[in-house]
């Protein structure tokens, strides 16, 4: 890797990109092998070693303490540079202005949006005078416009002679920003690619060793029968300081049988709360939810599940699994009142076990057996188990939040197939995803959520991710029409 | 299993203390003193067991059973908590003499040892009434048990009979089932300070080790007096710093009673039945160490005479 | 897949065995350091602590400990720390004794009446903590500790002759009115070794119900789900708040039973001598028994044995307080051992799963080739 | 670490950031209000002990061990480790303090107490940080171990030989000498005089100041200094920032090169040391001895005070003060003063209810009002509060306060959660 370049690292989920970077950053120790930095062998035991050697890392998940101020988050661990007071504040202002990051040091991090947090993360690294920057999937939560702004920042940094390691699953982005590309698979380097000559398709094939599947939906199966009707859903939350703010402001939507409704939006704009309100995990302040003609506005979550809502949660570890439970216990989870898991008030363990075996086989969950804990499965296999479980109860409505997040391309294709299959049989789907390609590819109808409101809708057949992105930042609203004038897409 | 045989050789005295045990600077200690005296005099062996806060009836029976079973004689239960267990175990060992302190238990081989704490407390009340300058005196009980109320009642009556216009404040550190009040010197001190702040200048504390806190508080304010309890607290090494504040102590001679029962067994004429160790018999009384009550000895003797000749009966529950 | 089960069993047993061995070693060191001979001490504990009359004693001691352990374990299974079992059982036993002393009905009514009163009072007292947690978000750890102290005050208020108690002039003790013989529970007469309290039957029943309820019913599944992950439980359709209150009530109801063996089999009245502190023993017992009905039983027996051993040690001129040190060391070692074994188990399983998958993939590839 | 994975919050507009913060002036205002209320109630009811210097001085003595235990809890929980073992650490502090104290002098007792508590803290750190055991489980185990150990050692060290001759027993150590205490000469007397007049407000303030300047133990001063030092260290130094970051987001801290284990260890050891000092205080100032059971649950109350104080030294000081006050109250005159306080409580609740009404929060308003009315009825129908209830005052106050205040509280985000190095994603 050369100084003053952007070096991209691509690979399937779980290929070991993050792990490699963590080793480079001293957070994990390699079993063998060496790291050479500026011609010298670097011995990295802790992040402190890495920082000392001028390596900085922006992690895949934010590494910020919500209840500390931006300033405190930035100076933490680097107090010896400029203290924790006025001098540090001045330095932060200086850096922020120099790179146009617009960071305000005295806000609490919890008050910041995603893009602002991302900038705080970058500033954290710059503050330490890092010469080598590792960015692990920095764009995953950003809308295209924000991605562009980030790339502008990166180019600026590069021109100052910094080295940047950039990890992303969005191959288009990779090609646009990288000077060199390394592809890894199953923990080993499988090759290098030149971003000037390689195409997205070639790169993808290099990554997975096969063709890239597409989420494209072939034929429309939308019927005229309304399955889910949400009217005037409102939710306000009171935060720790007693300030009331709108989370959902008058959300109404309708999903028909056989329809996939996709909701686009930057994370934190109320999608999670919308899902939780429909699932009955949150009580909205106002609004009516009708499922297949029955008012379920006040029904408890269990009733809603029994009535035919399947749920693939956004965060499977928090909401979808008992990590220390066995696979068959996880198969019962969420459907404990339904067959084959129980008869009357008693569990039917034999039947539940048998059905778990079936799911494992049918959904290709890679596991040596059903007595192992969910924690010992890889993320993709955990997700397949969840999908299998939810589909086994023949839901009328499937709420799928980021169904393929953290899942490799093979499993991704499988999950898409299952959703399409069920949709053909009349399943209604509420799809939430940060992956705009997935959204556009799978949905029959698209809506955009911004600050708790559904601000725009679009036709997935014609819309581009960029156009969707502008609505997601609040720059556009109403019905989004595709204009060819936008020029060629990547 | 335990053998109920009584024929194992006489091994000496078995004694089961109440919670606190030997070294509580209070009545368990007093019992231990009696034991030590008898041991020295008759060259006896002994076995001492101590109760825990969490002990149940079963534990207490187990203790007495072990002692009697191992051949100790007499077996002494110190404290009324042992009443039921003494009753139960004494039946199993008819040839062993049992003693119970502070309780009356029927049985052919049981010596029930009782004290008239209200009588010594009455004298303490007389002394308090004569020594107070503010006409306010106080009583601090560790826990509001029946036994402690006997102390309070006698004290109150002694004060009122001597000087009707002297007020008596009766307070307890903890209430009901919470026996921690006997072991809270910090709280005893705070309570005593509260009383002193209200102008009370003589405080009688029947509160186990909490009493030492009260004595310390009293020692911190000039011209005020503390009255000790159970043993002669003026002589207590742990209280040596503050002994000049101890006017007198209402002594309860548990040691004497324990000595008596051991001696009786040794002499082959074991004591049985109820024995009241009263003022007349010297079972209770006022300590004179320090000489602070020498000046009022005449009044005290007069009161003592009234009690011992039966013209005065001391109440056992305080009036409110 | 039975292989994983067996591994689990071995690992599960490894922890307590390891811990108890460590505890004995450490205790021996403490004894040596303080100039006492440890081997004779252990000898005494095993010899004298396990005679047939000691066995009866241990069983009788273990019965309330077991119930307390189950009461605590119900909370633990939910990630609730019911430190208030102590207050709950004392308050429950007190009011049950009052009710039992006030009426004289046939045994078939009298005994259930007393037991139900106790369960009700225990449940209500624990319920306060549950309600405060659910509605006001107050940690049950703090509330139950406060409620213990308040229970003491409540009992103190009523334990006054003329209120709900009476004075025994002879013995100087204050107690509730004695429960008539129709309210006495049966016992197993063991001759000179004593009587085994019949309430042990109820304790065993409670253990069976606990096991069955938790592992074989929908309700139990929901309860365990909440204990493992509140967020996942909520998403799966469990009403977490109601579950918290329910399990607090259940825990309190079982806590209410803790005082019953002593009350119905032994004391027949609530006096100032009624045993206190069993609730805290229950915490240790539940931790030791890993919330498992059999584990708790073993732990309760262990505790009972340590207690009799302590009085036997005292008899041999050891300081019986050494048993307190031993108890502390056992609990500490056990919790560490469980955690180490748990982590090791998870890691090992992940590794094994990885290996097996790799092996499967290889055979598949070979088959394809 | 899914908690850090996605920011589950809606981006807020800057306008929404006006916080209803408890500023210093607001706190002063609240204190002044409470003072006036108390003065008024005292003047009306004649329960003069409410603000007497003796009451205040007693409250201070009772508050210090609770406050020190709470401060211990604060250090530990700010670094993300829940410490319910404070009670055990207090026992160790009390024991070793008394052990050193009777043989040498009270200042060595202080040192020994701190070390004894720190030893307990070290065990807690090993068990929770290194072995990753659940914090509450570990704390409970430490309490059991500390109780067993102190009882055993007391039996061996205090009830034999020289110690026994000096007044020791299995339950008590021999007494140690007094530690130095201060009385501000002129001020104390002047305040005492003022207080004697029972004037509205003036005598109350005089009583409070008088209580604070009379017979003030040097350990109390040390404790006060530790509160200030804690605030300074935790909120104004790099060390403190790092320590707090371990309680807010240890993975983020780790990623910035902070040695999280080290800070957790230091915090928990400091926590034990502070609790140990609290225990030693009990042995040195009010009683001069180790006395079995003397900690009496103060470790737990300290924890409650810390929660009440929202994990901040200032709030904790107020919480500890409140508990100390009600403790002292119940020990001093009991019934009558608490009885008078019923009236104060009723007025306070009524005011709160009115405020809720103004905010259009009807249910809390009605409940508050109803409780206030009940209290007034209770007050007017009785002359005193039963002793048993008075004894429970501190606990009932704790429950009430937590029930009322808990939802405004914010504990460190990663408090009580297990942390392993390198587990971050
Ligand atoms: N210390 C370890 N030992 C064994 N396996 C590990 C270890 N650390 C991580 N893994 C596994 O190695 C794989 C690589 O994970 P990593 O997070 O690096 O993937 P990634 O390429 O960043 O994927 P993604 O695109 O999802 O971020 C995962 O399956 C992970 O569970
Ligand atoms: N003023 C300074 N200028 C340059 N380097 C410094 C300065 N102060 C400290 N360092 C170095 O920075 C490194 C990290 O210091 P830091 O203060 O973070 O260490 P630490 O507090 O001991 O470690 P940690 O708190 O992370 O466990 C050390 O190697 C130290 O020598
Ligand atoms: Mg990954
Ligand atoms: Mg990654």
Give the model confidence (pLDDT) of B152-202 as tens digits.
Answer: 999 999 999 999 999 999 998 887 667 788 888 888 999 999 999 889 999
Contact residues, C window 287-306, toward D, CB-based 8 Å cutoff? 287
Q: Enumerate neighbours of C (3 or more CB pairs within 8 A).
A: A, B, D
Contact residues, chain D, for A315 at CB < 8 Å: 2, 5-6
C234 with A281: CB under 8 angstroms? yes
**In the prediction, which pLDDT does B245 show?**
93
Tell me whether residues D127 and C336 touch, CB distance under 8 A: yes
Q: How far is CA C244 from CA B280, C82, C127, C239, in A?
A: 64, 11, 9, 9
Give the model confidence (pLDDT) of C8-58 as tens digits.
677 777 888 888 888 889 989 988 988 888 888 889 888 888 888 889 989
* D49 touches B at CB < 8 Å: yes
Percent of chain B at pLDDT exceeding 70: 96
DSSP string across B105-145 = ---TTEEEEEE-HHHHHHHHHHHHHHH-SSSEEEEEEEE--
Counting CB pairs under 8 A, whether chains A and B reach 3 or more, is no
Mean pLDDT of chain C: 88
CA distance D150 to C325: 9
- Domains of chain C: total: 1
Q: Label residue A373 left, alpha or beta by phi (over 0 means left) and psi (-120 to 50 means alpha).
A: beta
Assess if residue C134 is contained within a domain.
Answer: yes
Q: How far is CA A454 from CA A112, A271, A318, in A?
A: 22, 10, 26
Nearest Cα neighbor of D246 from B90, A185, A68, B42 is: A68
Assess if residue C299 is contained within a domain.
Answer: no
* C30 touches D at CB < 8 Å: yes
CB-based burial, D206-245: b 16+ in 10 Å, e otherwise: bbbbbbbbbbbbbbbebbbebbeebbeebeeeeebbbbbb
Q: How far is CA A14 from CA A19, A379, A380, A402, A406, in A?
A: 9, 9, 9, 17, 8
Helix (H, G, I), strand (E, B) or coil at D10: coil
Residue C74 CA, distance from chain mean position: 10
Q: Nearest chain B Cα to D388, which residue?
A: B175
B216 with D285: CB under 8 angstroms? no
Token pair for residue D116? 């004894």
Maximum C-alpha span of chain B: 64
Low-confidence ranges of chain D (pLDDT < 50): 1-20, 425
Tell me: pLDDT of B40 over 80. yes
Q: What are phi and psi of C33, to 5 degrees?
A: -60, -30
Q: Nearest chain A Cα to C342, which residue?
A: A324
**In the prediction, which pLDDT does C197 show?**
93
Q: State the Cα torsion D387-D390-D396-D401 to the nearest 10°.
A: 160
**In the prediction, which pLDDT does C253 show?**
96
**In the prediction, which pLDDT does D112 show?**
97
Neighbouring C-beta atoms of residue A224, cutoff 10 Å: 8
Token pair for residue A464? 């581009």
Instruction: State in Å, rounded, how far the first CA of chain C is from the last one.
Output: 28
Residue with tokens 């534990």: B59
Which residues are CB-neighbours of C145 under 8 A, at least 6 positions away? C83, C84, D297, D300, D304
Contact residues, chain C, for B182 at CB < 8 Å: none
Tell me whether residues D256 and A63 touch, CB distance under 8 A: yes
* D383 touches B at CB < 8 Å: no
Assess if residue C325 is contained within a domain.
Answer: no
pLDDT level of residue C96 (50, 70, 90 thresholds):
very high
Assess if residue C358 is contained within a domain.
Answer: no
Average pLDDT over residues B1-16: 62
Q: Cβ(A81) to ligand 2 under 6 A?
A: no
Counting CB pairs under 8 A, whether chains D and B reach 3 or more, is yes
Contact residues, chain A, for D248 at CB < 8 Å: 65-68
Assess if residue C307 is contained within a domain.
Answer: no
Q: How far is CA C203 from CA B108, C62, C293, in A?
A: 39, 10, 11
Which residues are CB-neighbours of A188 under 8 A, at least 6 positions away? none
Helix (H, G, I), strand (E, B) or coil at D396: helix
Assess if residue C111 is contained within a domain.
Answer: yes
CA distance B167 to C341: 67
Assess if residue C9 is contained within a domain.
Answer: no
CA distance D199 to C122: 48
CA of A75 to the centre of ligand 4 (A): 25
Chain D interface, best mutation among B194, B198, B217, by max D CB count within 10 A: B194
Average pLDDT over residues C85-97: 95
Q: Enumerate neighbours of A (3 or more CB pairs within 8 A).
A: C, D
Q: Which atom of ligand 2 is nearest to the CA of D257?
A: 26
Burial level of B222, CB count in 10 A (0-12/13-18/19+)?
exposed
Q: What are phi and psi of A167, to 5 degrees?
A: -115, 130
User: In the structure, which protein residues have their CB atom closer than 6 angstroms to any atom of ligand 1?
Assistant: A 11, 13-19, 60, 378, 406
Tell me whether residues D413 and A65 touch, CB distance under 8 A: yes
Tell me: pLDDT of C291 over 80. yes
Contact residues, chain D, for C280 at CB < 8 Å: 144
Which H helix or E strand runs over D305?
helix D298-308
A348 with A377: CB under 8 angstroms? no
Give the model confidence (pLDDT) of B241-255 as tens digits.
889 999 999 998 999
B102 with B172: CB under 8 angstroms? no
Q: Cβ(D259) to ligand 2 under 6 A?
A: yes
CA distance B243 to B226: 9
Beta bridge partners of A180: A7
**In the prediction, which pLDDT does A240 show?**
44
pLDDT level of residue C224 (50, 70, 90 thresholds):
very high
**In the prediction, which pLDDT does C263 show?**
93
Q: How far is C55 from chain D (nearest CA, A)?
A: 24
One digit per residue, the tens of pLDDT, for chain A of length 490 reads: 666 788 888 876 566 777 788 888 887 777 777 777 777 777 778 888 888 888 888 887 788 888 899 999 999 888 888 888 888 899 888 888 877 777 888 888 887 777 788 888 888 888 888 888 888 877 766 666 777 888 888 888 888 888 888 887 777 778 888 888 888 876 778 778 887 888 777 777 777 665 555 555 567 777 888 888 888 888 887 654 455 667 888 888 889 888 899 998 876 778 888 999 999 888 888 888 888 888 888 888 988 998 889 999 988 888 889 988 889 999 999 888 888 888 888 899 999 999 999 998 888 888 888 888 888 887 778 888 999 999 888 888 999 988 887 676 677 788 888 888 888 888 899 999 877 778 888 888 888 888 788 888 888 888 777 777 777 766 677 777 766 544 433 3
Which residue did the predictor score with more confidence, D86 or C157? D86
Q: Cβ(A48) to ligand 2 under 6 A?
A: yes
* Domain carrying residue C72: 63-293
Mean pLDDT of chain B: 88
Is this prediction's pTM over 0.95?
no
Which ligand approaches the C-alpha of residue A136 most closely?
Answer: 4
**In the prediction, which pLDDT does A218 show?**
60
Q: Which residues surround ligand 3, an ion (CB under 5 A)?
A: A 18
CA distance A330 to A337: 14
Token pair for residue C123? 């449940």
pLDDT level of residue B128 (50, 70, 90 thresholds):
very high
* C152 touches B at CB < 8 Å: yes
**Helices C278-288, D135-158: crossing angle, 10 deg rounding:** 120
**In the prediction, which pLDDT does D10 show?**
38
Assess if residue C76 is contained within a domain.
Answer: yes
Token pair for residue A102? 């617009």
Q: How far is CA A275 from CA A272, A402, B72, D9, in A?
A: 5, 12, 77, 15
A457 with A445: CB under 8 angstroms? yes
Picking from D84, D152, D300, the nearest residue to C319 by CB comes out as D152
**In the prediction, which pLDDT does D417 show?**
85
Helix (H, G, I), strand (E, B) or coil at A307: coil
């Amino acid at each position: 890797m050369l100084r003053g370049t952007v070096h991209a690292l691509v690979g399937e989920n779980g290929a070991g990109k993050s792990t490699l970077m963590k080793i480079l950053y001293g957070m994990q120790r390699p079993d063998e092998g060496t790291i050479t930095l500026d011609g010298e062998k670097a011995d990295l035991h802790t992040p402190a070693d890495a920082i000392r050697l001028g390596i900085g890392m922006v992690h895949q998940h934010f590494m910020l303490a919500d209840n500390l101020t931006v300033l405190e988050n930035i100076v933490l661990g680097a107090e010896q540079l400029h203290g924790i007071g006025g001098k540090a504040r001045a330095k932060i202002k200086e850096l922020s202005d120099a790179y146009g990051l617009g960071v305000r040091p005295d806000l609490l991090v919890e008050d910041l949006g995603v893009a602002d947090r991302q900038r705080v993360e970058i500033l954290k690294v710059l503050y330490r005078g890092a010469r080598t920057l590792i960015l692990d999937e920095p764009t995953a939560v950003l809308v295209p416009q924000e991605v562009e702004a980030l790339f502008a920042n990166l180019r600026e940094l590069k021109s100052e002679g910094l080295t940047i390691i950039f990890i992303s699953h969005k191959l288009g982005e990779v090609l646009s920003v990288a000077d060199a590309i390394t592809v890894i698979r199953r923990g080993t380097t499988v090759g290098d690619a030149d971003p000037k000559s390689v195409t997205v398709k070639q790169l993808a094939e290099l990554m997975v060793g096969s063709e890239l599947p597409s989420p494209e939906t072939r034929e429309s199966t939308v019927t005229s029968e309304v399955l889910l009707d949400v009217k005037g859903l409102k939710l306000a939350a009171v935060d720790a300081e007693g300030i009331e703010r709108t989370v959902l402001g008058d959300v109404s939507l309708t999903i028909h049988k056989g329809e996939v409704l996709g909701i686009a939006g930057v994370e934190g704009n109320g999608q999670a709360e919308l899902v939780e309100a429909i699932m009955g995990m949150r009580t909205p302040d106002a609004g009516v939810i009708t499922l297949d003609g029955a008012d379920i506005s006040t029904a408890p979550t269990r009733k809603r599940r029994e009535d035919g809502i399947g749920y693939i949660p956004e965060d499977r570890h928090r909401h979808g699994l008992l990590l220390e439970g066995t696979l068959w216990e996880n198969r019962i989870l969420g459907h404990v009142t339904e067959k084959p898991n129980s008869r009357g008030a008693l569990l039917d363990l034999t039947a539940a076990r048998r059905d778990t075996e079936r799911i494992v086989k049918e959904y290709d969950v890679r596991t040596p057996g059903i007595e192992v804990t969910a924690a010992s499965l890889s993320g993709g296999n955990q997700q397949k188990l969840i999908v299998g479980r939810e589909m086994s109860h023949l839901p009328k409505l499937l709420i799928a939040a980021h169904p393929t997040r953290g899942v490799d391309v093979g499993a991704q294709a499988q999950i898409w197939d299952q959703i399409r299959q069920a949709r053909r049989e009349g399943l209604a789907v509420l799809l939430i995803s940060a992956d705009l390609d997935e959204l556009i590819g799978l949905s029959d109808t698209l809506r955009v959520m911004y600050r708790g409101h559904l601000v725009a809708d679009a036709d997935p057949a014609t819309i581009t991710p960029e156009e969707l992105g502008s609505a997601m930042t609040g720059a556009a609203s109403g019905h989004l029409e595709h204009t060819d004038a936008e020029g060629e897409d990547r | 299993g335990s053998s109920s045989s009584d024929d194992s050789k006489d091994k000496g005295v078995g004694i089961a203390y109440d919670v606190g045990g030997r070294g509580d600077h209070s009545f368990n200690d007093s019992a231990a003193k009696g034991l030590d005296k008898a041991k020295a005099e008759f060259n006896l062996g002994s076995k001492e067991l101590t109760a825990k806060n969490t002990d149940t009836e079963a534990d207490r029976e187990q203790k007495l059973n072990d002692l009697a079973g191992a051949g100790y004689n007499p077996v002494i239960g110190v404290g009324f908590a042992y009443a039921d267990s003494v009753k139960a175990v004494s039946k199993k060992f008819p040839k062993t003499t049992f003693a119970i302190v502070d309780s009356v238990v029927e049985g052919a081989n049981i010596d029930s040892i009782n004290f008239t704490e209200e009588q010594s407390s009455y004298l303490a009340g007389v002394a308090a009434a004569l020594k107070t300058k503010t006409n306010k005196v106080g009583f601090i009980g560790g826990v509001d048990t029946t036994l402690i109320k006997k102390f309070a009642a006698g004290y109150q009556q002694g004060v009122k009979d001597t000087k009707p216009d002297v007020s008596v404040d009766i307070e307890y550190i903890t209430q009901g089932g919470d026996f921690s009040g006997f072991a809270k010197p910090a709280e005893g001190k705070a309570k005593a300070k509260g009383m002193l702040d209200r102008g009370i200048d003589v405080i009688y504390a029947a509160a186990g080790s909490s009493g030492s806190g009260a004595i310390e508080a009293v020692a911190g304010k000039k011209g005020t007096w503390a009255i000790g309890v159970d043993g002669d607290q003026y002589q207590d090494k742990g209280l040596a710093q503050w002994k000049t504040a101890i006017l007198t102590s209402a002594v309860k001679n548990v040691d004497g009673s324990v000595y008596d029962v051991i001696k009786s067994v040794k002499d082959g004429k074991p004591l049985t039945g109820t024995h009241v160790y009263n003022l007349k018999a010297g079972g209770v009384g006022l300590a004179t160490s320090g000489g602070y009550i020498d000046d009022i000895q005449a009044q005290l003797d007069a009161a003592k005479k009234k009690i011992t000749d039966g013209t005065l009966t001391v109440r056992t529950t305080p009036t409110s | 897949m039975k292989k994983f089960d067996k591994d689990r069993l071995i690992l599960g047993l490894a922890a307590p065995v390891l811990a108890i061995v460590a505890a004995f070693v450490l205790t021996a060191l403490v004894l040596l350091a303080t100039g006492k001979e440890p081997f004779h001490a252990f000898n005494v504990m095993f010899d004298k602590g396990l005679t047939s009359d000691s066995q009866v004693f241990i069983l009788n001691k273990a019965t309330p400990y077991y119930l307390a352990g189950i009461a605590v374990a119900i909370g633990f299974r939910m990630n609730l720390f019911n430190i208030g079992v102590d207050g709950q059982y004392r308050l429950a036993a007190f009011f049950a004794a009052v009710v039992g002393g006030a009426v004289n009905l046939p045994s078939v009514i009298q005994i259930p009446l007393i037991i139900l009163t106790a369960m009700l009072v225990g449940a209500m007292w624990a319920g306060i903590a549950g309600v405060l947690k659910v509605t006001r978000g107050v940690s049950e750890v703090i509330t139950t500790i406060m409620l213990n102290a308040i229970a003491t005050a409540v009992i103190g208020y009523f334990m006054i002759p003329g209120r709900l108690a009476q004075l025994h002039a002879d013995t100087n003790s204050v107690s509730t009115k004695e429960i008539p013989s129709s309210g006495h529970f049966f016992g197993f007469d063991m001759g000179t070794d004593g009587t085994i309290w019949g309430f042990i039957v109820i304790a065993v029943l409670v253990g069976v119900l606990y096991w069955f309820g938790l592992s074989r019913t929908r309700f139990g599944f929901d309860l365990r789900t909440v204990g493992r992950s509140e967020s996942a439980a909520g998403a799966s359709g469990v009403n977490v708040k109601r579950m918290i209150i329910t399990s607090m009530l259940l825990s309190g109801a079982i806590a209410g039973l803790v005082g019953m063996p002593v009350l119905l089999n032994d004391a027949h009245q609530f006096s100032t001598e009624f045993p206190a502190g069993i609730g805290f023993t229950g915490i240790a017992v539940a931790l030791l028994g890993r919330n498992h009905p059999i584990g708790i039983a073993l732990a309760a027996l262990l505790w009972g044995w340590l207690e009799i051993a302590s009085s036997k040690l005292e008899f041999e001129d050891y300081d019986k307080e050494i048993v307190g040190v031993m108890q502390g060391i056992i609990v500490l070692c056990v919790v560490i051992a469980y955690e180490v074994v748990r982590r090791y188990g998870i890691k090992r399983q992940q590794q094994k799963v990885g290996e097996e998958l790799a092996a499967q993939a290889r055979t598949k590839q070979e088959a394809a080739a | 670490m899914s908690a850090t994975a996605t920011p589950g919050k809606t981006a807020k507009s800057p306008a929404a950031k006006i916080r209803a913060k408890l500023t210093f002036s607001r706190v002063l205002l609240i204190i002044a209000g409470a003072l006036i209320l108390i003065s008024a109630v005292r003047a009306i009811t004649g329960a003069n002990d409410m603000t007497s210097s003796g009451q205040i001085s007693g409250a201070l003595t009772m508050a210090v061990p609770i406050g020190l235990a709470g401060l211990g809890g604060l250090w530990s929980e700010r670094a993300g480790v829940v410490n319910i073992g404070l009670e055990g650490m207090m026992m160790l502090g009390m024991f070793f303090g008394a052990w050193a104290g009777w043989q040498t002098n009270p200042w060595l007792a202080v040192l020994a107490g701190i070390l004894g508590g720190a030893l307990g803290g070290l065990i807690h750190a090993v068990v929770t940080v290194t072995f990753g055991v659940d914090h509450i489980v570990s704390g409970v185990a430490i309490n059991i171990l500390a109780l067993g150990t102190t009882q055993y050692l007391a039996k061996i060290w205090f009830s034999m030989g020289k110690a026994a001759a000096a007044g020791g027993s299995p339950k008590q150590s021999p007494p140690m000498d007094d530690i130095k205490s201060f009385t501000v000469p002129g001020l104390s007397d002047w305040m005492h005089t003022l207080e004697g007049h029972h004037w509205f407000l003036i005598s109350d303030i005089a009583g409070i100041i008088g209580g604070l300047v009379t017979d003030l133990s040097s350990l109390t001063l040390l404790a006060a200094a530790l509160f200030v030092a804690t605030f300074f260290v935790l909120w104004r130094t790099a060390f403190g920032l790092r320590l707090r970051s371990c309680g807010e987001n240890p993975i983020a801290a780790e990623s910035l090169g902070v040695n999280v284990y080290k800070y957790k260890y230091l915090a928990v050891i400091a926590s034990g040391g502070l609790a140990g000092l609290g225990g030693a205080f009990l042995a040195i100032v009010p009683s001069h001895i180790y006395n079995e059971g003397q900690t009496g649950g103060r470790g737990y109350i300290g924890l409650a005070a810390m929660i009440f104080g929202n994990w901040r030294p200032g709030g904790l000081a107020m919480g500890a003060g409140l508990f100390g006050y009600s403790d002292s109250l119940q020990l001093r005159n009991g019934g009558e003063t608490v009885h008078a306080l019923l009236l104060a409580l009723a007025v306070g609740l009524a005011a709160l209810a009115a405020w809720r009404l103004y905010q259009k929060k009807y249910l809390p308003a009605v409940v508050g009002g109803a409780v206030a009315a009940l209290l007034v009825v209770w007050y007017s129908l009785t002359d005193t509060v039963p002793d048993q209830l008075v004894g429970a005052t501190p606990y009932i106050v704790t429950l009430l306060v937590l029930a009322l205040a808990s939802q405004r509280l914010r504990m460190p985000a990663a408090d009580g959660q297990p942390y392993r190095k390198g587990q971050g994603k």
